[in-house]
Amino acid sequence: MIYISNESTNPYYNLAMEEYLFSINDDNDYLLLWRNEPTIVVGKHQNTIEEINSQYVKDKKIHVVRRMTGGGAVYHDLGNLNYSLIIKSNYEGDYDFGKFTFPIVKALGRLGIKAEQTGRNDITIEGKKFSGNAQFVSKGKVLHHGTLLFDSQMEELTNSLKVSKDKIISKGIKSIRSRVTNIRDYLADDIDIMEFKKLLLKYMLDENEKLETGELSKEDIQNIENLKENKYMTWEWNYGKSPGFNIKRSKRFGSGKVEALIDVKDGIVDAIKFYGDFFGTGDLSDIENALKGKRYEDNEVTNSLKEIEIDYYFKNIQSEDLINLILGKEEEY
């Protein structure tokens, strides 16, 4: 495994670096540890405006950027350490979060902290979340990345993000602040985040796994800069245009929330867009295009999707469940 040292705190550059290393055709596995200036990072499928407190974010000059993985929105600042693992894998089944979060749990154990993976993709201490994780699987590779709240500004985290009512109900929580924590609060010996980064790098890999240090070439850096400028800093990627709609459907499944905005004219689907904190590998435009121009009724919607492997786009959500959501048969508010 190759460790690429990255001292950049620019979120657009850092996410571009992840995608670039994931996309290059080589046989290397990569490990990254990195930090961002104050930033909200939204999941690939989320409706950005619905996830952030826009005026607060604007007033505080907090960056907003979309990542290439699913899941929910998270807050980053210089008190938060992010880790990324890019490895070769032909595994196409359910997302195996435990395989990737275990090294973090193990490393924290070496520091005297008892942590555990809980729920879908979180790591917690005493029931409080300090790490959210997400994955992307494609072409024989897995990108797994996660946040590690070490000494983050919790007030900024709380004020910059919105939490939908259905998520609060489903998790039985009163607020973001009541369920998150910083790692630093549990350390026997106080250290700063840079020392924590060194110790994490030392402890998280298996003893028999060789870690090499790699460097990016000038060409690599230029390619990352191009990706940053042409994708990660664009309004189209980070916000995107929502279609005009006259029907809104929403439901939280065990694997995440799915929301459908549908514009129906004269009984025909003129446009449809899916949002949510679910995971999935496929390009949702495949499903959206399959439904566009079809009658908004049971048989037509069902027939339009019968040849599509729904699990590839909405992990652990059945075709029937998605159809029922689109048609409003099992909607939750």
Q: Quote the distance between the C-alpha of residue 227 and its chain's center.
A: 19
In whole angstroms, what is the distance from residue 278 CA to residue 181 CA?
24
Mean model confidence pLDDT for the chain: 90
Domains for the chain: give ranges and CATH numbers: 2-238 (3.30.930.10), 247-327 (3.30.390.50)
Kindly calculate the radius of gyration of the chain based on its CA atoms and give it in whole angstroms. 20
Closest CA to 162 of 72, 69, 266, 225: 72
- Please tell me the pTM assigned to this model: 0.87
Q: What is the pLDDT of residue 242?
A: 78
At 279, the amino acid letter reads: F
Output 165 or 135, whichever has higher pLDDT: 135
Q: Averaged over 277-295, what is the pLDDT?
A: 94
The structure tokens listed for 197 are 């980064």
Q: Exposed (0-12), middle (13-18) or buried (19+): which is 234, by Cβ within 10 Å?
A: middle
Lookup: tokens for 91: 């595994």
- The Cα 64–Cα 54 span in angstroms is 10
Q: What is the pLDDT of residues 130-154, one digit of tens each?
A: 999 999 988 889 999 999 999 999 9
At position 298, the amino acid (one-letter code) is: D
- Residue 323 · residue 305 · CB < 8 Å: yes
Beta pairing partners, 33: 5, 83
**Tell me, what amino acid is at 32?**
L
Max Cα–Cα distance, the chain, nearest Å: 67
